[in-house]
Structure 1
Amino acid sequence: MRAAYLEGQSIAALARDHGVSRGAIGTAVADLLPEHVTADDPVPVPEVPLTLDMPGKVADFLRATDLDDAERAALDHGQAVRSGTGYTLRVTAVLALHRQLLDRCQSLDGAGAIPAQRKARREFENRVSACAH
């Protein structure tokens, strides 16, 4: 049966020939199926870029800091969206990069930060955290 499957015979045809269900044939040849992955062979899940709105106060702070090339590129490619008196920067990047940017602005939680900056950082943290779950 396995040899016939490898030669190209369909699961349905094998089930008819042997008088069993297609599920039984599928179970018998499961390790031969192309989509079969064992638990021993973990497949890395590619990270999908996410678009998150970063408050302008956070973006301005980050632009004034020393960023690596990927972080700088993410901010440079972000789209500014005007809202009221300020703006929001729509940044598309993988979740890990959003977390890096969030880590870079941790000093906005300190005593020397302006309350509006602290609130903006918390808003961005909430958006990043919501995507992590």
Structure 2
Amino acid sequence: MPGKVADFLRAAELEPAERATLDQGVTVRRGQGYTLRLIAVPAIHRQLLDRCQPLDGTAAVPAQRKARREYENRVNALPATSLH
């Protein structure tokens, strides 16, 4: 998960399972930003993706919109039965 998406979700109200997934993520530095590596079933990733829909709106900065699109592409590439 891109760091900009993770930062947005940390400030949002999440379900306990979603919050636990974020809290257990491992931060990996990438250039100027970071990536949060999460191990969760695809359903949790899809719930988190749904919660960051406001990043598609005009109130979000372009980098946030791009980060959300990248996360969406990664989530959509997950097989339905995967554990990662």
Give the aligned length: 80
Q: Secondary structure at the match of 1:113?
A: coil
CA positional deviation for 1:80: 0.1
Q: TM-score, normalised by structure 1?
A: 0.59
| Matched residue, 1:78 | 25
Q: Which runs of structure 2 are paired with 1:22-61 in the superposition (5 Å)?
A: 54-61=1-8
Unaligned ranges ≥5, structure 1: 1-53
Aligned-residue sequence identity (percent) comes to: 71
Matched AA of 2:56: D
| RMSD of Structure 2 on Structure 1 (CA) | 0.9
Q: Secondary structure at the match of 2:77?
A: helix
Gaps of 5+ in 2: none
Query: C-alpha deviations, 1:43-99, integer Å up to 9, x for none?
Result: xxxxxxxxxxx0000000000000010000000000000010110000110000000
Distance 2:48 2:79 in 1: 15
Among 71, 77, 84, the alignment partner of 1:124 is: 71
Structure 1: how far apart are the matches of 2:44 and 2:4?
A: 18
| Residue 48 (structure 1) aligns with | none
Q: Larger Rg: 1 or 2? A: 1
Match of 2:44 in 1: 97
SS in 1 for 2:5: helix
List 4+ stretches of structure 1 deviating above 6 A: none
- Measured after TM superposition, the shift of residue 132 of structure 1 is 4.0
Where relative contact order (Cα < 8 A, 6+ residues apart) is larger, the structure is 2
Distance in 2 (alpha carbons) for counterparts of 1:116 and 1:80: 19
